[in-house]
Amino acid sequence: MYIHNTRAKPIRRKDPRSEKGSLRAVCQGFDLACFGGEREESWWEVARKLQAMFVRPLVSPSWLQRSLRAGVPPIVVLDGTWHMPFLKRNALAEFEAKRIKGARFFDIDLVADRSTTLPHMLPSPEVFAEHVGAMGISNDTYVVIYDAAQSIGAAARVLWTFRVFGHQGGVSVLEGGLCAWQREGFEVVGGKLGSVEDEEFPIEPKKYIPRLNGHLVKSFDEIISNLNSPSELVVDARPSSRFLGIDPEPRPGLSSGHMPGSVSLPHAKLLDVENHGVMLRGKALADAFENAGVKISERAVHSCGSGVNASITWLGTILARSEMKPGAWEELEDGLSVYDGSWTEYAGRIVDGAKIEK
């Protein structure tokens, strides 16, 4: 949607490809010859190739701040905050009250399949393209997503969604979220879009062409098939008390418990509670998977309550793999998927063959 506001003048950003000094800083230390080719490549082309070669699942506030100042790579920042309904919090209102300057709001309940009663299920490729295009995002845009309430939170779900639709421009989660951004003293603004000086508004819409990566998503039927003939481990990111059937589910009418053969890996186990809840690194991250019985090199389906925290353990697996051997998204996410409907769908379909153990 292209929204016009007569009070605010559109902001047109300079083309970062003309700022060779900034591009040079991004590419400094890399040998152009390693890319081959007979002609000398521009710094912009080198930066694009580096971006495609190496996944950066998480970025720091300082990296984002430097990149936004330099304009390289061209970035759109998204607030992907989502709250459980029982909390009765309005993430959009919170975004309007406080956000990273220039950010846009990605509502996982709006950019979704609205024909189902299941919460925030993946939208169709056409719906996704319409919404992100209206946010000024093209296939080549670098997207950084943050959560304003948690260190990672629903930002991981938004990143996974971009990967499902084949985003090629680079996509990362801001580690530590908005809280980490503020702790480092970087600017936040408040006010409705169009009311803040120098924020781009109205947003210039872009054309977005989705390319579906269906292997990153699992359906109910595929889960049932895997239960009957196991080929992939199901990793359950809910709290262990719900996995064991001790505590009730937060959504009324659903039994707690777990799928036969699944393993419990609460998403919080991957977070460093002594460091503001950022993702663990190195041996600590590898140990968290090993202790849960998850081999990061093997195929796995990640599940949780409604597909949000499952995206965190999915992303954690990619981070752990990238620490072992850096690579492109297609390499690191190989054999990894998220069960979109997760426990909300599964536990609600006992009559369709879902089995629950406690």
List of residues 6+ apart from 183 with CB closer than 8 A: 61, 176, 276
Let me know: does 234 contact 300? Beta carbons within 8 Å: yes
Task: Quote the CA–CA distance of 280 and 288 in Å, as a whole number.
Answer: 9
Q: Is 34 a catalytic residue?
A: no
Angle between helices 43-53 and 20-27 (to 10 degrees): 40
Pick the catalytic residue from 27, 34, 179, 304.
Answer: 304
CB 223 within 8 A of CB 236: no
DSSP 280: P
Residues 172/144, Cβ–Cβ less than 8 Å: yes
- Distances 247 to 238, 265, 322 between C-alpha atoms, Å: 11, 16, 35
Token pair 């480092």 is at which residue? Answer: 184
Tell me the two tokens of residue 352.
């369709």
Catalytic residue set: 304
